[in-house]
């Protein structure tokens, strides 16, 4: 693996990573990526301040990867069919996500093998609670996103263009090697919206990973068209979808996107057999009404079934939402109660370390099958995917 602007020796990198990977909680940041570090996956400094100090990223220097899922039109225009934005892009222009560029009528990804954030995270941080719990996920993120959520915690990378972030050069095969050498059970495409905007990279990495039994997980906003999603599902180990709210108004005003395609993706997932979980970030007064939470929970139960894990996460003021207070515990607890009353079996509370809502409870005997605090697992009462106390099958991918 090479840092795009500041090469570091791979062996040094792995050595440091190996030393650090014993830390149980939180991310392990990759040395040599200043500005990207704990406590969260997002950059702690300003990624937008300038490009790497050793020289600016020149997109024309990158080994470009031709994009998948696009159409060519007259006058060298292209139409991207990857996500519901369906951008029409003229020559020398980019799509909405800022990481796909039309060069003389051919559409290219500018972030193939160029993550700007690389960490080893607990899989619980994604969060995926029913997928290989207690394992590490080799987690990468690239610049770019096909939404513009006003509350984005990682906006300095998600709303940046690849020339505004410091990027590593990490080819799919090398990515898999790094995952294996850090004892990571999976590779997570995460942090911004790499799942959609770095689609080609994710697919090639998943193919490589599957050869080595390293599974790829897609941490996504679910704003992707049907055909590419079906293609991705052939290769993915698990998916986490951010369901931002349950109204078109919220999607339009807060995220610059639409709800319907996300629901369609969830319906596809329900039929696919690929493990998936849902996160709902609760924003006080904007998506936390009883009626919205009830409609959403009932829809999940009816269309997806009672066993889909649903995580209600706490919001912290940031980016363009600095005036809203953080979500009170009571709101998260109310949301959890509503979802449980609607018949959902696995409803969690996120971003509140130590809360009882972080643990998995057996829907039959109500005892904890996995007790968690933050990203750590304190107790496991599950064996072969069953509650050790009553034998109830707990859905998920347990090994």
Partner 1 sequence: MVVVARKKRGSDASVSFYADLLQASLKRLTGAGKAEDAWARFFAPDDIVAVKVNSITGRRLSTSPALVTAIARGLRSCGVPEHNIIVWDRMTWELEKAGFAVNFAREAPLCFGTDAPSVGYESSPTELGAVGSCFSRIVTQHATALINVPVLREHALAGVSIALKNYYGAIHNPNKYHSDGCSPFVADVSTHPDIRGKTRLNICDAVKVQFHGGPGYKPKRVSHFGGILVSTDPVALDTVGTHEIDKLRKSNGLRTLREEGRYPAYLSIASDERHALGVSDRSRIDVINMELA
Rule CB under 6 A: which residues touch ligand SF4? 80, 82-83, 85-87, 95-97, 100, 146, 196-197
> Alpha-carbon distance 195 to 145, whole Å?
9
| 51 contact choice in partner 1, ligand SF4, none (CB below 5 to 8 Å, kind-dependent) | partner 1
> Alpha-carbon distance 281 to 293, whole Å?
11
173 binds partner 1 (CB under 8 A): no
| 256 contact choice in partner 1, ligand SF4, none (CB below 5 to 8 Å, kind-dependent) | partner 1
Task: Assess contact for 193 and 147: CB atoms under 8 A.
Answer: yes
* Residues in a beta bridge with 122: 136
What letter would DSSP give residue 153? T
Least distance to ligand SF4 from the beta carbon of 328, Å? 34
> Alpha-carbon distance 229 to 146, whole Å?
15
Please report, for residues 136, 173, 184, 186, 212, the alpha-carbon distance to residue 180 in angstroms, rounded to integers and kept in the order given: 10, 11, 6, 9, 8
* Residues in a beta bridge with 184: 136
Least distance to ligand SF4 from the beta carbon of 228, Å? 9
Tell me which residue has tokens 């690849």: 162
Say whether 34 sits in a helix, a strand or coil.
Answer: coil
Residues 62-81 that bind partner 1 (CB under 8 A): 75-77
114 binds partner 1 (CB under 8 A): no
Cβ proximity to ligand SF4: between 199 and 375 the closer is 199
Query: Of residues 160, 262, 268, 339, which one binds partner 1 by CB under 8 A?
Result: 160
Tell me which residue has tokens 């225009």: 77
Cβ proximity to partner 1: between 26 and 162 the closer is 162
159 binds partner 1 (CB under 8 A): yes
What letter would DSSP give residue 315? -
What tokens were used for 75? 């006058």
> Binding pattern to partner 1, positions 318-357, x when CB under 8 A?
-xx-------------------------------------
Nearest to ligand SF4 by Cβ — which residue?
Answer: 95
Least distance to partner 1 from the beta carbon of 8, Å? 20
What letter would DSSP give residue 254? I
The footprint of partner 1 (CB under 8 A) covers 46, 48-51, 53, 56-58, 60, 75-77, 87-88, 90-98, 102, 104, 148, 150, 155, 159-161, 163-164, 256, 319-320
């Amino acid at each position: 693996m090479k840092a795009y602007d500041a090469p570091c020796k791979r062996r040094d990198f792995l050595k440091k990573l190996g030393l650090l990977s014993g830390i149980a909680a939180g991310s392990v940041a990759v040395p040599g990526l200043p500005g990207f570090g704990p406590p969260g996956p997002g950059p702690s400094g300003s990624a937008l301040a300038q490009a790497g100090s050793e020289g600016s990223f020149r997109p024309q220097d990158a080994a470009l990867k031709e994009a998948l899922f696009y159409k060519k039109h007259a006058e060298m225009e292209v139409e991207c069919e990857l996500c519901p934005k369906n951008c029409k892009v003229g020559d020398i222009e980019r799509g909405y996500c800022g990481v796909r560029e039309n060069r003389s009528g051919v559409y290219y990804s500018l972030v193939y093998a160029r993550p700007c954030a690389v960490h080893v995270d607990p899989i619980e941080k994604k969060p995926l609670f029913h997928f290989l719990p207690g394992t590490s996920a080799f987690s990468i993120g690239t610049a770019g996103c096909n939404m513009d959520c006003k509350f984005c915690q990682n906006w300095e990378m998600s709303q940046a263009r690849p020339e505004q972030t410091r990027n590593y050069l990490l080819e799919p095969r090398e990515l898999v090697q790094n995952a294996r050498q850090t004892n990571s059970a999976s590779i997570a495409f995460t942090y911004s919206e790499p799942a959609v905007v770095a689609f080609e990279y994710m697919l090639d990495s998943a193919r490589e990973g599957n050869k080595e039994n390293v599974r790829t997980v897609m941490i996504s906003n679910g704003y992707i068209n049907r055909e590419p999603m079906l293609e991705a599902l052939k290769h993915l180990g698990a998916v986490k979808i951010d369901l931002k709210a349950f109204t078109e108004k919220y999607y339009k005003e807060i995220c610059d996107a639409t709800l319907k395609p996300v629901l369609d993706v969830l319906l596809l997932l329900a039929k696919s057999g690929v493990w998936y979980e849902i996160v709902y970030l609760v924003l006080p007064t904007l998506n936390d009404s009883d009626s919205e939470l009830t409609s959403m929970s009932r829809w999940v139960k009816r269309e997806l079934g009672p066993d889909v894990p649903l995580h209600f996460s706490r919001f912290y003021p940031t980016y363009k939402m600095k005036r809203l207070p953080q979500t009170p515990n009571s709101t998260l607890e109310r949301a959890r109660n509503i979802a449980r009353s609607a018949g959902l079996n696995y409803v969690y509370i996120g971003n509140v370390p130590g809360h009882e809502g972080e643990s998995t409870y057996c829907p039959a005997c109500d005892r904890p099958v996995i007790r968690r605090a933050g990203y750590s697992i304190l107790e496991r009462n599950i064996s072969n995917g069953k509650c050790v106390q009553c034998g109830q099958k707990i859905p998920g991918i347990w090994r």
